[in-house]
């Protein structure tokens, strides 16, 4: 993954600006960090293992005007000072940062070694700095040396390079995100827009195979064709996200802030429900004409897709598939011309999702994606995009975007149902429903948080936690378990409650927590109560998230206060105490929920 940033400006102050922007990208990786600043005819580099604050707290340099920065999530080469970016050429006249992975770099490295280049790191990236140097030495100008070095690379890359004695930043992109931000007398680049929102809301989104050069007054973009470049005109897009959304405010962590923002996110979707009419109409037509439908997604978004699959079946009587993105190339061969593929992705940059979409398009499918980040790669690969309107999400563990994904899916299904039944859709009714859920989440949040704080006392001492759900809350059990394991590092698993007896029940012993998601529907309730008793009688510590009126003896209950609960909307409410429990447990254990070990928010490698 990794995050990259570059700033070129006339008025100096570039170091603190790069640090500020880099900190906004720490959610992409935080093993190591570094910056390279052009300092007259030399380049000043400081880098090492650690976070931006740790590595860059004490930079002593007269402030420059042009520089690049990097926050790393290791892929090639261990987490060492030498492997941290930026990487430089032998003569230190070229420095660059990279996000992605290069194939065949061993071959290039050996060739360069034969030509006398000395390598200081184990990374794939360093090869590119030496390639550029080699070409500059042979007399090429900087632009040509840059793009001729990029041309033979295969793999994924977003690269930003600087040269000693120049205020230009050279950029290249293939399969890793890279945006250019436009300022007054200054221009920027970064892995994503969140790093730059405090500087600008005007962006150019680079596409695969493009190279660019930015200076304080100018942005030039070309398409790389073989060894040559052809100039391209790029559209400038304005993004409405406000920089205040990328601030923790008074919250100790982004994750908690984002959990508390959920009622607001639901209101946003409710207020814009008409926006989803077009998608629902296409969906209804696809179902009526017998097209196959497949969701594709990863992580939390995959869990949302399971809710989609459930609602398509329950409400629309339509069969759909839900394919984990990283498995799509193996399992998606059945996709055919005119099939409908629905990727769901917060970032719109998850490499596995993008690869799946490329394959689906090759197979002739129509792709309509549900995405959060404006202008992300997925939006440009898809035939159509619907946005989930959650605003920027920084915490690595997805929370508010999960609710947004569920609310969008629910709205689209309700509207499509009317089309299928030959009625006019009623967006106002859907709006009211989502508004009500928003109120329910808002009014339950303080109490759910209190209960989570208490429960985290015992959960934090456990080794394993099991989550059991049925029907539409089976995905909730998966998502609840994912939240706990990713930020607290306690082993957790979600299961369909009825399936539990086919194996995992053997794991239950005295005191193992089993968290049961109680359906609203009474028939399902009696089934799951039976499952609950199965684990309880074997010594499990039982906790249940339940509708308010349900009485359960000797079970710790989290009662949801909700006047008119419905099964179909319960996942939007039930997941909230599970998010809070994961958060409070992680904090209790002294883990940083915003930066879980080994994980990154945007996984741009396959
Ligand atoms: C990473 C994140 C998860 C996220 C998943 C899919 O693993 O840590 O929180 O759910 O990627 O991300 P996407 O942006 O495609 O929804």
Distance in Å, CA 301 to ligand 1 centroid: 7
Q: Supply the DSSP string of 180-203, one letter for each residue.
A: EEE-SSEEEEESSGGGTTTT-SEE
Confidence at residue 54, expressed as pLDDT on a 0 to 100 scale: 86
How high does pLDDT run on average in the chain? 94
Using alpha carbons, select from 194, 207, 211 the residue that is nearest to residue 374.
Answer: 194
Which DSSP category does 39 fall into? E
- Among 1, 487, 601, 605, the mutation site with the greatest number of ligand 1 atoms within 8 A of its Cβ is 601
The span from the CA of 562 to the CA of 553, in Å, is 21
Best CA proximity match to 66, nearest among 1, 133, 131, 11: 11
What is the pLDDT confidence band of residue 270, given thresholds at 50, 70 and 90? very high
Distance 226 CA to ligand 1 centre (A): 34
> What is the per-residue pLDDT across 111-147, written as a single tens digit (0 to 9) for each?
999 999 999 999 999 999 999 999 999 999 999 999 9
Angstrom distances, CA of residue 395 to CA of 27, 29, 257, 375, 406: 7, 12, 9, 20, 19
What are the backbone angles phi and psi of residue 190, rounded to the nearest 5°?
A: -165, 165
* The pair of three-digit structure tokens given for residue 497, joined into one six-digit string: 């409650």
Name the pLDDT band for 448 (thresholds 50, 70, 90): very high
Distance 348 CA to ligand 1 centre (A): 9
Residue nearest to atom 15 of ligand 1 (CA): 345
> Hey, what domains does the chain have and what are their CATH numbers?
3-245 (3.60.20.10), 254-588 (3.40.50.10490)
Q: Are 354 and 378 in contact (CB under 8 A)?
A: yes
Per-residue pLDDT of 282-302, as tens digits, reads 999 999 999 999 999 999 999
The H or E element containing residue 579 is: helix 570-588
- Tokens at residue 188, please? 């920027």
pLDDT on residue 61: 63
Q: Which residues have a Cβ under 8 Å from the Cβ of 78 and sit 6 or more positions away? A: 122
Nearest alpha carbon to residue 208 among 244, 182, 177: 177
User: For residue 600, which atom of ligand 1 is closest to its CA?
Assistant: 8
Report yes or no: 1 and 48 within 8 Å, Cβ to Cβ: no
Q: In the prediction, which pLDDT does 37 show?
A: 95
Q: How far apart are CA 495 and CA 527, in angstroms?
A: 14
* Residue 298 CA, closest ligand 1 atom number: 6
The dihedral formed by the CA atoms of 587, 592, 598 and 604, expressed in degrees to the nearest 10: 120
| Mutation to probe ligand 1, out of 323, 394, 398, 595 (largest number of atoms < 8 A from CB) | 398
- The mean pLDDT of 569-574, rounded to a whole number, is 98
Distance CA 512, CA 477 (A): 16
User: Considering only CA atoms, which of 163, 100, 154, 99 is closest in space to residue 133?
Assistant: 163
Q: In angstroms, what is the span from residue 302 Cα to ligand 1's centroid?
A: 9
pLDDT at 405 over 70: yes
pLDDT in tens, 146-177: 999 999 999 999 999 999 999 999 999 998 99
**Could you give the 3-state DSSP secondary structure of residue 307?**
helix
Q: What does the pLDDT read at residue 167?
A: 96
Task: Say if residue 411's pLDDT is above 80.
Answer: yes
Q: How many residues are there in the chain?
A: 606
φ/ψ of residue 523, rounded to 5:
-65, -45
**Residue written as token pair 């053997």:** 506
Q: Which is the closest atom of ligand 1 to the Cα of 596? A: 8
Residue 561: CB atoms within 10 A of its CB come to 13
- Give the binding-site residues of ligand 1, using a 6 Å CB cut-off: 298-301, 345-347, 350, 353, 396-398, 599, 601, 603
3 state DSSP class of 241: coil
d(CA 185, CA 207): 24
- Res. 600: pLDDT tops 80: no
Per-residue pLDDT averaged across 586-605, rounded?
Answer: 86
pLDDT over 90 percentage in the chain: 81
C-alpha angle 246-432-577 in degrees, rounded to nearest 5: 55
> How much is the average pLDDT of 452-458?
97
2 is catalytic: yes
Pairwise CA distance, residues 437 & 223, whole Å: 47
Report the alpha-carbon distance of residue 343 to residue 365 in Å, rounded: 12
pLDDT tens readout for residues 304-322: 999 999 999 999 999 999 9
Which of 255, 300, 403, 595 best tests ligand 1's pocket when mutated (most atoms within 8 Å of CB)?
A: 300
C-alpha 401 to ligand 1 mean position (Å): 10
Atom of ligand 1 nearest to the CA of 353: 15
Residue nearest to atom 1 of ligand 1 (CA): 601
């Amino acid at each position: 993954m990794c995050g990259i940033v570059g700033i070129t400006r006339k008025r100096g102050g570039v170091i603190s600006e790069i640090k500020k922007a880099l900190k906004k990208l720490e959610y992409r990786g935080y093993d190591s960090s570094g910056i390279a600043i052009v300092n007259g005819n030399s380049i000043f580099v400081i880098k090492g293992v650690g976070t931006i604050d740790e590595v860059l707290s004490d930079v002593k340099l007269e402030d420059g005007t042009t520089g690049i920065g990097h926050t790393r999530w290791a892929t090639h080469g261990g987490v060492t000072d030498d492997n941290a970016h930026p990487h430089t050429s032998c003569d230190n006249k070229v420095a660059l940062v990279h996000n992605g992975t290069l194939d065949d770099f061993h071959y290039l490295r050996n060739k360069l070694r034969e030509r006398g280049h000395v390598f200081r790191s184990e990374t794939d990236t360093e090869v590119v700095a030496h390639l550029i140097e080699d070409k500059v030495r042979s007399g090429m100008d900087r632009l040509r040396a840059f793009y001729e070095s990029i041309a033979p690379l295969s793999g994924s890359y977003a690269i930003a390079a600087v040269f000693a004695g120049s205020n230009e930043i050279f950029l290249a992109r293939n399969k890793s995100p890279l945006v250019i931000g436009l300022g007054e007398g200054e221009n920027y680049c970064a892995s994503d827009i969140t790093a730059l929102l405090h500087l600008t809301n005007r962006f150019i989104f680079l596409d695969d195979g493009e190279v660019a050069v930015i200076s304080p007054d100018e942005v030039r973009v070309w398409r790389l064709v073989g060894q040559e470049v052809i100039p391209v005109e790029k559209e400038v897009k304005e993004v409405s996200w406000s920089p205040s959304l990328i601030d923790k405010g008074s919250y100790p962590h982004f994750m908690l802030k984002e959990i508390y923002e959920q009622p607001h996110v639901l209101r946003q979707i409710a207020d814009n429900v008409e926006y989803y009419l077009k998608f629902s109409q296409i969906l209804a037509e696809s179902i009526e004409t017998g097209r196959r439908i497949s969701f594709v997604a990863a992580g939390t978004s995959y869990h949302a897709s399971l809710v989609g699959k459930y609602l398509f079946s329950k409400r629309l009587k339509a069969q759909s598939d839900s394919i984990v993105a990283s498995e799509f190339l193996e399992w998606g061969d059945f996709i055919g011309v005119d099939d409908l593929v629905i990727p769901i992705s917060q970032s719109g940059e998850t490499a596995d999702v993008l690869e799946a979409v490329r394959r689906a398009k090759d197979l002739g499918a129509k792709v309509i994606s549900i995405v959060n980040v404006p202008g992300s790669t997925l939006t440009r690969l898809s035939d159509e995009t619907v946005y989930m309107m959650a605003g920027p999400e920084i915490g690595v563990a997805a929370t508010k975007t999960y609710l947004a994904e569920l609310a969008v899916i629910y709205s689209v299904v309700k509207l499509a149902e009317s089309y299928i039944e030959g009625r006019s859709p009623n967006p106002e009714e859907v709006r009211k429903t989502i508004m009500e859920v928003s109120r329910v989440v808002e009014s339950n949040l303080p109490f759910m948080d209190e209960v989570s704080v208490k429960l985290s006392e015992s959960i934090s001492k456990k080794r394993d936690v099991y989550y059991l759900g049925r029907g539409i809350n089976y995905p909730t059990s998966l998502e609840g378990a994912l939240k706990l394991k990713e930020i607290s590092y306690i082993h957790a698993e979600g299961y369909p409650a009825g399936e539990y007896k086919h194996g995992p029940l053997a794991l239950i012993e005295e005191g193992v927590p089993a968290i049961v998601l109680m359906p609203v529907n009474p028939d399902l309730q009696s089934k799951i109560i039976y499952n609950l008793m199965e684990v309880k009688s074997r010594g499990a510590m039982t906790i249940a998230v339940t509708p308010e009126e349900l009485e359960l003896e000797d079970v710790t209950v989290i009662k949801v206060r909700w006047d008119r609960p419905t099964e179909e909307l319960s996942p939007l409410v039930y997941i909230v105490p599970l998010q809070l429990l994961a958060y409070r447990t992680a904090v209790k254990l002294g883990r940083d929920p915003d930066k879980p070990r080994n994980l990154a928010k945007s996984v741009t490698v396959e």
